[in-house]
Structure 1
Amino acid sequence: MTEQRWKNRPEGSNWGDFGPDDQIGRMNLLTPEARLRGAREIREGRSFCLSLPLDYPGGNVLFPLRKEPVFHHEKRGDGHNFNFDLSGVSPCYCDVISDDAVTLYTQYSTQWDALAHVGMRFDADGDGVAEKVYYNGYRGGSDIVGPDEGDDHGAAALGIENLAACGVQGRGVMVDLERAYGRDRKLIDYDALMKAMDGMDVEVESGDFLCLNTGFADLVLSMNKQPDGEVLANACAVLDGRDERLLNWVTDSGIVAICADNFAVEAYPSRVPDEERFPALPLHNHCLFKLGIHLGELWHFGELAAWLSENQRSAFFLTAPPLRLPGSVGSPVTPIAMV
């Protein structure tokens, strides 16, 4: 066990509650009992793919620093190792071989955020100097190292491989914000979320995955890889990360993750508070930095949400492991729902 790496912890955080070395946060609440509760939601044996095609949304209008996948092929002989005829290696062979590689931005399309994705300048040492700090006191520059800080860079702590190894299977609970509010832009505070949850057949419990359908992913798909940034910026419901009552509910709920079909889960840019300094992404700060709650973005819930509504259900069994890619701060994911 490592000695506690912080003297001060952020107000409202759970640092240290799962141990000084914890790197999975609220996924600790995904207990065998929570998984069994999820498994009991499999009644029909029907599955739904919850991922967009990973070359969506298309271009980089939504986020200029993230780019769509690019394929590469290795040279082999006079050509490439794609549709390669092995008879050229031996006249006895009749095989045709294809390999490929891809440059893949880990948070371009349907994704998980690792706990190393968003930190904060915070005085964890209690010496009056704010350091770059991440969940549970892990440090930017030593535990999470960028290419400007050293040759051996990456997330040595809090990388996405920790989420992959802990087994991402449990009960998903769908809140259909599109059904409640349509596709007009709406900030969802605590009251709006509770209103959308009225009449659901299950309660959100500790160890659940909170899943939010807003219609955003279906809107992205309809744009056929030519997203209209202005339309998307003014469409569909988004969580109001500045609403303290909403953040308190997230804390008290015991949820292990929030998975949304939109970009960033919360409104960005967010409302400007009456403070000198503040997080630009308050929900990310509350979830990733303070509580160790993983965030999923750009999931595709439309078909599943429609089926759940038609069958008067809210819950399903969710399987959604990220890539076990050591040192990465995010990962593509192909979530599967079973009902």
Structure 2
Amino acid sequence: MSESNWGRWGTDDERGALNLLTPEVVRAATACVREGRPLSLSLPIRGATSSPAPTTVPHLRGRPLPQHFMSVDAGDYAAGARPIGAGLRMADDAIVVTPHGTTTHMDALCHMWTGDRLYNGHPAGRVRSYGATRCGIDKAGPVVGRGVLFDVPRLRGVRHLAAEDRVSAEDLAACGVEVRPGDIAVVRTGWPLTWQDSPEAYWAGQPGLSAGAGRWLAGRDVAMVACDNAAIGGLNERQLADEDLDDDLHLIFLWRHGIHLAEMLWLEELAATGRTDFLFVAAPLAIEGGTASPINPLAVL
């Protein structure tokens, strides 16, 4: 396995392993559609200003929750809006979302790095408060490919993994899923189910991939990795990763291999189908220079 994908798609590349999603790979992925049934793999976005979101939606402790303001005929939020015509009524929205740690989202390649270089050697100094002019989420484009599900709790015969569990390369291999270059690897830990017990249970740490599992996936040329936990890798009780720089999952995927990440998926309905391959579809918002974007991933069965 190559230690990195830097230079593989040229010195100017900002899409990383998404370059593996060629027209031929996308066309082949459509063969996974056998029922024509789409499933959403997203958690809901519930604004803390308009619902009991702090108790109903999994999120990392201390992260700013989505803010959702509504207006009806300019009576609430959008002061100064003009009527749109006699007899017509209108409602509008204003939404503020911090994607990381609060909702289903996709990480950009500029989200994590070490030293003074982003993925592919782009200067890290191009990431500023006004946005990243290199490797932002707007450079990713839509993701359409063959999704493959690694249902680790099913493999182990448990409802969900324990907070201290780390998914190994051997676990992934034991799931018996064939992995092809350009696949989107979707890993289920079942951890969002702990939110039904209490936020404290969810915040007690999180299971996730080990560094060995990350290298196993990168070595199989996956285009993207998606998981139902909050950080792909595991978290301790302080909601931090314990790995050093060599083994940090974000550095293995985003920085070294240009593999985009999707986090905080909801995979329970997909797991209940027993399907391990499907058409995966997701499109990040074209947020110029963004480090992430909310997404609503779909599994088309």
Q: TM-score when scaled to structure 2?
A: 0.85
The AA in structure 1 aligned to 2:230 is: F
Q: Quick one: distance in 2 between partners of 1:316 and 1:61?
A: 25
Identify the residue that residue 89 of structure 2 maps to in structure 1. 96
Q: Quick one: distance in 2 between partners of 1:294 and 1:155?
A: 16
Measured after TM superposition, the shift of residue 81 of structure 1 is: 4.6
1:119 is aligned to 2:113: yes
Q: Quick one: distance in 2 between partners of 1:74 and 1:120?
A: 43
- Residue by residue over 1:195-240, the C-alpha shift from the partner in whole angstroms, topping out at 9 and shown as x without a partner, is 2x23x4xx110010000111112333x25xx622x454356x4211
Identify the residue that residue 177 of structure 1 maps to in structure 2. 152
The AA in structure 1 aligned to 2:253 is: C
The AA in structure 2 aligned to 1:252 is: G
* 1:267-306 to 2 correspondences below 5 Å: 267-268=234-235, 269-271=240-242, 278-279=244-245, 282-306=248-272
- Residue by residue over 1:260-297, the C-alpha shift from the partner in whole angstroms, topping out at 9 and shown as x without a partner, is 0111011124455xxxxx42871110110011000110
The AA in structure 2 aligned to 1:191 is: E
Q: Quick one: distance in 2 between partners of 1:175 and 1:78?
A: 48
Query: What stretches of structure 1 of length at least 5 have no aligned partner?
Result: 1-10, 122-131, 147-152, 273-277
Matched position secondary structure for 1:170: strand
Identify the residue that residue 278 of structure 2 maps to in structure 1. 316
**CA 1:290–1:97 in structure 2 vs 1: closer, same or farther (change >3 Å)?**
same
Identify the residue that residue 192 of structure 1 maps to in structure 2. 171
Q: Quick one: distance in 2 between partners of 1:184 and 1:323?
A: 31
Measured after TM superposition, the shift of residue 316 of structure 1 is: 0.3
Identify the residue that residue 134 of structure 1 maps to in structure 2. 118
The AA in structure 2 aligned to 1:133 is: R
* 1:126-275 to 2 correspondences below 5 Å: 132-141=116-125, 143-146=126-129, 153-164=130-141, 167-181=142-156, 182=158, 183-185=160-162, 186-195=165-174, 197-198=175-176, 200=177, 203-220=178-195, 222-223=196-197, 227-228=199-200, 230-234=201-205, 237-241=207-211, 243=212, 246-268=213-235, 269-271=240-242
State whether residues 50 and 336 of structure 1, in contact with CA within 8 Å, keep that contact through their aligned partners in structure 2.
Answer: yes
Q: Quick one: distance in 1 between partners of 2:8 and 2:260?
A: 17
Query: What stretches of structure 2 of length at least 5 have no aligned partner?
Result: 48-52
Q: Quick one: distance in 1 between partners of 2:260 and 2:72?
A: 40
Q: TM-score when scaled to structure 1?
A: 0.76
**CA 1:34–1:70 in structure 2 vs 1: closer, same or farther (change >3 Å)?**
same
Larger Rg: 1
**CA 1:318–1:61 in structure 2 vs 1: closer, same or farther (change >3 Å)?**
closer
Measured after TM superposition, the shift of residue 144 of structure 1 is: 1.1
- Residue by residue over 1:119-146, the C-alpha shift from the partner in whole angstroms, topping out at 9 and shown as x without a partner, is 101xxxxxxxxxx2210112222x1113
**CA 1:24–1:103 in structure 2 vs 1: closer, same or farther (change >3 Å)?**
same
**CA 1:110–1:267 in structure 2 vs 1: closer, same or farther (change >3 Å)?**
same
State whether residues 60 and 230 of structure 2, in contact with CA within 8 Å, keep that contact through their aligned partners in structure 1.
Answer: no
